[in-house]
Copies of this chain bind each other. A is one copy, B any other.
Amino acid sequence: MTGRSPSTSSDDRARPDVAVVGAGPIGLAVAWRCAARGLRVVVHDPASGSGASAVAAGMLSPVAEAYFGERQLTALLLASAALWPTFAAELTEATGAELGYRTDGTLMVGLTGDDLAEARRLWAYQQELGLPVTPLRPTELRDHEPALAPRVRGGALAPTDHQVDPRLLVPALRTAARRAGAVLVPQPVRHLSEVDARVTVVAAGCGAAALTGLPVRPVKGQILRLRAPGGVAPGFRHVIRGYADGEPVYLVPRADGEVVLGATVEERSDTTVTAGAVQRLLRAGVDLLPELAEYDLVEAVAGLRPGTPDNAPILGPLPGRPDVLAATGHHRHGIVLTPVTADLIAGLVTTGVPDPLLAPFRPDRFDSDAPASVGAAGSGAPAGADRPDSTMEEDRWS
């Protein structure tokens, strides 16, 4: 199908326009956006929301997560973060659900002199990209968050980096997708041949590897959930990210008293919670924010992020399978990338024409004869602008 209207011919009536494999935030948002455009959508997942999103912190941090060598990914993160306010408003309007969307901004900090030196290198890079990063003097840092440990050496503010609660987001997306007409089938898909639809969207996270052969691998993350004692809100309101004696760590405060403290990044595929990881996370968290020592530890859990060779998502048609679109490999960025992924994939399904933003994230970029990978292709230009239109043409399918 290419840019076709919702099917109405009689022999097509039972066949969905779109089958989505995976009912995490990505799959559900794709389903919602497609169904809202009048397409018939079926979503397959035996356990919606049980993947990486159940563990994710929900930071919307394109600025704080702008790392060296990932310019095109950064451009996509920025594009998606820019969509978030409208996306959240529409989702709340469609469902009435509260999403825990907060715009208090992100404080980036360094505990020791070494940590601060490391952090400053990154902030300089982020400022070079023109991103809103404001270094703070120590007194300014305490003005922003008095609860920070006195020994925290320095920090910077990323005021546009926001947060959402993934455990509120996913149920809201389920409701929105259903209300728009999508059908959720709580069955697993073990092979793409089991799915019958004009277009299949594989949004199965780590499960995409077995279904498509794409180089998606599990990247284990251990994460803690604390709770402020006495049922009050945490004693800080910014997302706090930083280095504590070399340990990268983040703290995400929720209005209900929860604090998410994460996360390890491990090349492992188990989901056990280990003593050493919990100890390191707690130590780093308490060093940055001493009041955390008195917080309840309510959850320690591990999840598997869908990682890719260049840390960027895989978006678009499988090589040789124009009817199968990948929307996976979002690694640590699944929540922030949900709106842009949904819009790009829904647009592709509807029009058959890939948005230029998709170009750096094509599934075929890992083939040996394909153009260079995302990381290596970075030239400083906005994502999608550094490849000729002729390449775009090849992405069309019909």
Q: Hey, which chain B residues are within 8 Å of A296, CB to CB?
A: 272-275
Nearest-Cβ distance from residue A278 to partner chain B, whole angstroms:
5
User: Please, what's the 1-or-0 string for A275-299, where 1 marks a CB less than 8 Å from any CB in chain B?
Assistant: 1101100110110000011111110
A229 vs B293: C-alpha distance in the bound complex, in angstroms? 28
- Chain B residues, CB < 8 A from A292: 275-276
Say yes or no for A83: interface residue by CB 8 A criterion: no
Are B294 and A274 in contact, with the CB atoms below 8 A?
yes
- CB-CB under 8 A for A283 and B283, given A226-B275, A276-B292, A294-B274: yes
A300 at the interface (CB under 8 A from B): yes
Name the B residues within 8 Å of A224 (CB-CB): 275
Cβ contact within 8 Å between A282 and B278? yes
Bound CA–CA A283/B278 (angstroms): 10
- Determine the residue in chain B with the shortest Cβ distance to A224: B275
CB–CB B283/A279 < 8 A? yes
Shortest A160–chain B CB gap in Å is 29
Distance (Å) between the CB of A254 and the closest chain B CB? 16
Sampled A-B contacts (7; CB under 8 Å): A261-B275, A274-B297, A275-B292, A275-B295, A275-B297, A278-B282, A297-B300
Known: A273-B297, A275-B294, A278-B297. 6 other contacts (CB 8 A): A272-B296, A273-B296, A273-B298, A276-B294, A279-B282, A279-B293
